[in-house]
């Protein structure tokens, strides 16, 4: 169980600076996710924490120990940092059995045979691999190999577990199952987890806290999943966390706000600018047949099973929304293409106009 502290980390490769002055704290026993688009530098940060690379500046502490201090030329080797790592491609050793793979860290620590065996079998049970100990990795499915990697990372009871996009090569159903299991294991063992991914769904599902990183390697927001989703700090976070709709809204000379087509917009931004962008999620929209709200037209309607998915056009702009099928049936909201409808909003986030292109999804 350890707390991870990163202070003013800087890392460059040749001319490009990937991380600059990055500071971050992961609390003891927390499941912390670093979320960001591909190539933003999140994997680099994980590798710095692991010790596979050295930062150009800054200090990294794991627990009480300083494992890396660029200024003082201190750098603990990866094998001295007491952590477990799960790689994106699993990195399960193909020439060793499942048992030997998992036992390796204990072998290196010169654990006695009986204790080793007991501990390995315990971990095998924790990741639901019982019965497969003598198989070779080539005989296992992707999901099973992933569990071997997880078991191997956990067997030596490390204080910190680092996971680098471990689920992206699995199919959707397995991904859901595995992220559930990772969360279970984390809760049961109370281990600190540092998880890196580009998939906001996974991040939302497993994290106690998460950090959003942009393409430049800058952290935009840190918080609990519902904080990030409900109160995005800026438009980057808003866009990254899911489907984002936007409508431009103009100030009317007499007061009040209207859309591009002159319809009255019931929500009011807080500020001086004369034009704003209203941002909202599909679930923030309430559609109706005829009643209060903006007059819109259904551009596309798709039946997706549990949901009806609509692409709505209003005054030249477009946005998406969904209604649960059974609710749509019950309330007469099964729209077809070109149907007229009305839209009101539960809530809206405001962004400065000009920051985001009109009508983007």
Partner 1 sequence: MSYVRLVNVTKRFGAVTAVDHLNIEIERGECFSMLGPSGCGKTTTLRMVAGFEDLDDGEIHVGERLLSSRARTFYLPPEKRGFGMVFQAFAVWPHLSVYENVAFPLRVRKLGATEIDRRTREALDHTGLLSVAKKSPEDLSGGGKQRVALARALAINPDVMLLDEPLSSLDPHLREEMRFEIKDLQRQFGFSIIYVTHDQAEAMALSDRILVMNLGVVQQVDTPLNVYQNPANRFVFGFIGLSSFLDVSIHGDAVRVRGEGGEPAVQIIAPAALKAAGRAVLASRPSEIDFVAEGGVRGVVKRCAYLGEVIDYRIDVGGQEVRVQKNRRAPGPSEREACGLVFVRPHWYSHDS
Partner 2 sequence: MRAATPSRGIGAAEVILGLSVGILVVVVAVPVLIIFFNAFWVNGQFNLADTLKALREPDTYRALLNSLFIASGVTVMSTIIGTFFAWLVTRTDLPFKPAMRVLFLVPFMLPSFIGALAWKMLLSPRAGYINRFLMDVVGLDGPVFDIYTFTGIMAVETMYLFPFVFIQVCGALERMDPTLEESARISGASLFTITRKITIPLVRPSILSGALLIMLYSMAHFGTVAVLGIEAGIFNIPTLIYEKIHQSAGSFNSIRTGTVLATVLVITAALIMFIQNKVLSRGRYQIIAGKSFRPVETKLRALRMPMLVFCIAYIGFTIVLPTVTIFMVGGLKTYGLPFTAENLTLANYRYILFDWKMTRDAIWNSVTLGLAAALITMFAGVMISYVIVKMKVRGKGLLEFLGMLPFSVPGSVIALGVMLAWSGKFGINIYNTVWIILVAYIARYMAFSLKANSAALEQVHDSLVEAARASGAGMGQALRDIVLPLVRPGMFAAFFLIFLPALRELTVSVLLYGPTTRKIGVAIYTLNEDGETVYSAALAGIALLIIVTAQTLIGRFTRARTMT
Question: How many whole angstroms separate alpha carbon 56 and alpha carbon 69?
Answer: 9
Q: Which of residues 150-189 bind partner 1 (CB under 8 A)?
A: 180, 183
- Quick check: 302 binds partner 1 (CB under 8 A)? yes
Using an 8 Å Cβ cutoff, are 213 and 42 in contact?
yes
The phi, psi pair for 184, rounded to 5°, reads -60, -50
Binding segment (CB under 8 A) for partner 2, from list 71-79, 166-174, 298-306, 307-315: 71-79
What does 71 interact with, of partner 1, partner 2, none (CB < 5 to 8 A by kind)? none
Query: Measured between alpha carbons, how far apart are the two ends of the chain, in Å?
Result: 41
- Strands (DSSP E) contained in 106-218 are 160-164, 192-197, 209-213
- How many C-beta neighbours within 10 Å does residue 246 have? 25
Binds partner 2 (CB under 8 A): choice among 104, 229, 267, 350:
104
Q: Which two tokens stand for residue 86?
A: 């799960």
Binds partner 2 (CB under 8 A): choice among 36, 41, 84, 143:
84
Binding segment (CB under 8 A) for partner 2, from list 48-56, 269-277, 291-299, 330-338: 48-56
Pick 87 or 350: Cβ nearer partner 2: 87
* DSSP 8-state code for residue 300: E
Binds partner 1 (CB under 8 A): choice among 58, 105, 225, 293:
225
Q: Which of residues 131-170 bind partner 2 (CB under 8 A)?
A: 136, 138, 149, 152-153, 156
Binds partner 2 (CB under 8 A): choice among 7, 61, 93, 243:
93
The phi, psi pair for 113, rounded to 5°, reads -50, -50
Q: Which of residues 185-214 bind partner 1 (CB under 8 A)?
A: 200-201, 204-206
Question: How many whole angstroms separate alpha carbon 147 and alpha carbon 124?
Answer: 9
Choose among 177, 317, 182, 206: nearest CA to 259.
317
- Quick check: 306 binds partner 1 (CB under 8 A)? yes
Per residue, the 3-state secondary structure of 275-292, as one string, reads: EEEEEECHHHEEEECCCC
What does 40 interact with, of partner 1, partner 2, none (CB < 5 to 8 A by kind)? none
Which residue is associated with the tokens 């691999």? 129
- Quick check: 50 binds partner 2 (CB under 8 A)? yes
Question: How many whole angstroms separate alpha carbon 51 and alpha carbon 278?
Answer: 44
- We find the least distance from the C-beta atom of residue 51 to partner 1, in angstroms, to be 32
Which residues contact partner 1 by CB under 8 A? 180, 183, 200-201, 204-206, 225-226, 229-230, 241-242, 281-283, 300, 302-306, 309, 324-326, 329, 346
Which residues contact partner 2 by CB under 8 A? 50-53, 77-79, 83-85, 87-89, 91-95, 104-105, 108-109, 136, 138, 149, 152-153, 156
């Amino acid at each position: 169980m350890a707390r991870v502290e990163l202070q003013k980390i800087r890392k460059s490769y040749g001319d490009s600076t990937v991380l600059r002055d990055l500071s971050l704290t992961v609390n003891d026993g927390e499941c912390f996710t670093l979320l960001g688009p591909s190539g933003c530098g999140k994997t680099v940060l994980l590798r710095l924490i692991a010790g596979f690379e050295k930062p150009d500046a800054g200090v990294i502490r794991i627990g009480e120990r300083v494992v890396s201090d660029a200024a003082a030329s201190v750098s603990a080797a990866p094998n001295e940092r007491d952590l477990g790592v799960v790689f994106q491609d699993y990195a399960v050793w193909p020439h060793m059995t499942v048992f030997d793979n998992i036992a390796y860290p204990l072998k290196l620590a010169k654990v006695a045979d009986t204790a080793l065996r007991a501990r390995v079998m315990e971990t095998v049970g924790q990741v639901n691999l019982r019965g497969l100990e003598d198989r070779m990795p080539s005989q296992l499915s992707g999901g099973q190999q992933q569990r071997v990697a997880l078991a191997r990372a956990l067997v030596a009871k490390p204080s910190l577990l680092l996971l680098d996009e471990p689920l992206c090569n699995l199919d959707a159903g397995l991904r859901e199952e595995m992220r559930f299991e990772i969360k279970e294991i984390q809760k049961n063992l109370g281990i600190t987890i540092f998880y890196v991914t580009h998939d906001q769904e996974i991040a939302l599902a497993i994290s106690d806290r998460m950090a959003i990183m942009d393409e430049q390697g800058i952290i935009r927001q840190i918080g609990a999943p519902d904080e990030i989703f409900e109160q995005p700090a800026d438009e980057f976070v808003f866009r990254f966390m899911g489907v984002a709709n936007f409508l431009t809204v103009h100030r009317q000379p007499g007061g009040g706000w209207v859309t591009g087509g002159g319809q009255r917009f019931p929500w009011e931004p807080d500020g001086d600018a004369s034009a704003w962008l209203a941002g909202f999620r599909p679930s923030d929209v309430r559609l109706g047949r005829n009643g209060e709200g903006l007059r819109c037209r259904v551009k596309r309607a798709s039946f997706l099973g549990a949901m009806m998915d609509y692409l709505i056009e209003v005054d030249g702009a477009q946005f998406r929304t969904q209604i649960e099928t059974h609710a749509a049936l019950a309330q007469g909201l099964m729209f077809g293409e070109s149907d007229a409808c009305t839209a009101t909003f539960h809530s809206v986030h405001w962004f400065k106009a000009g920051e985001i292109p009109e009508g983007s999804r």
